[in-house]
Each structure stands twice: as structure tokens, then as C-alpha cells.
């Protein structure tokens, strides 16, 4: 069973810990770097949470109180929500955590009257691309360098709501 909930201010440390783990585990999958994120103080993490659209997933049989995954969404414009920072801890993979997290951002976007959810994924990240395709996303044909690793490309995907 996967439990997904929005973050609250007191989650800042858990958010920080899983975000830093994600950047260490998959450094080429994100637009930021471990080094950059370690410089953020508590106030920055609390600000991230205050913006809304950040969700943590919990799998009680894996760890009762430690988040198993993280995802974020932000309103890019009146009709588009950008899905960001998707990560599932290795020990929780294969349990439906990714699908539950993506569904939470899609639901959040719908409540904000968005028309679509968009994301960027590293072109070579086949497992993530497959997850997004299972969740109804399709390639747009857009491509750009990964901000944190410009030698790699990322591709855009979109899901209409």
C-alpha cells in the first residue's frame, strides 16, 4: 500500500534528506546538483514546501515514517503544471510508488484547472520514461541539455488532462 500526502512545513528535513539522496543516487536525472542543494538552509526548504505541490510517498512495509518517494508540481502558467523532482528510493521501487506519486501531481493539476502536466526526463533514463508513458505521458519532440549535465539531453513529455 502506498500512502501519498502533501508536504507540511515540519517535513522540511525529510524533504531535504530524500532530495539529497536523489541527487547522489541519480545525479544526471535532475536539473540541480547535490553540491548546490546542500547549500540550501532550512528556510529555503520551508519555502519550497510553502509553494505547495510537493508530495511524499510512504510504504509502511518498507519504512513506517521515512518517505519512500518524492515528487513536485508547480503551475508554470494558467494551463500547465510542470512535474519535477520525481524520485523513488531504491528499496521502494517496484511497489507502485512512482505511479502513485505521478497520480498525485496529475490530481493536484486538475484541481488547479490545468489543461496538461508537462515534464522533462533525461533521454537515457529508460525506466523513468516507461513510468511516464504508463501514466499517459507522450513525447512532445522537444529536447534540451540537462541543466546540471549539459552533455546529456532531456526530452519533454506531456499529458493532457
For 129-146, give the DSSP string. HHHHHHTT-EEEEEEEEE
pTM, to two decimals:
0.94
How many C-alpha atoms does 52 have within 13 Å on its Cβ side? 7
Cβ(155)–Cβ(123) below 8 Å: yes
Non-local (6+) Cβ contacts of 34 within 8 A are: 20, 23, 24, 27
pLDDT tens, N- to C-terminus, the chain (161 residues): 899 999 999 999 999 999 999 999 999 999 999 999 999 999 999 999 998 899 999 997 777 678 999 999 999 899 999 999 999 999 999 999 999 999 999 999 999 999 999 999 999 999 999 999 999 999 999 999 999 999 999 999 999 99
Non-local (6+) Cβ contacts of 111 within 8 A are: none
User: What domains does the chain contain, in order, with CATH numbers?
Assistant: 3-160 (3.40.630.30)
Structure-block grid coordinates of residue 22: 536523489
Amino acid at each position: 500500500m502506498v500512502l501519498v500526502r502533501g508536504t507540511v512545513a515540519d517535513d522540511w528535513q525529510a524533504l531535504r534528506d530524500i532530495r539529497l539522496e536523489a541527487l547522489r543516487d541519480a545525479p544526471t536525472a535532475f536539473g540541480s546538483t547535490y553540491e548546490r542543494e546542500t547549500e540550501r538552509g532550512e528556510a529555503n526548504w520551508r519555502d519550497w514546501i510553502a509553494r505547495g505541490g510537493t508530495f511524499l510517498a510512504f510504504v509502511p512495509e518498507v519504512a513506517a515514517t521515512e518517505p519512500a518517494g518524492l515528487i513536485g508540481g508547480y503551475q508554470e502558467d494558467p494551463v500547465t503544471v510542470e512535474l519535477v523532482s520525481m524520485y523513488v528510493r531504491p528499496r521502494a521501487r517496484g511497489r507502485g510508488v512512482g505511479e502513485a506519486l505521478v497520480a498525485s501531481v496529475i490530481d493536484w493539476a486538475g484541481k488547479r484547472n490545468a489543461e496538461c502536466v508537462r515534464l522533462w526526463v533525461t533521454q537515457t533514463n529508460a525506466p523513468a520514461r516507461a513510468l511516464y508513458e504508463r501514466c499517459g505521458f507522450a513525447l512532445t519532440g522537444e529536447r534540451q541539455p540537462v541543466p546540471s549535465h549539459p552533455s546529456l539531453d532531456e526530452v519533454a513529455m506531456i499529458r493532457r488532462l
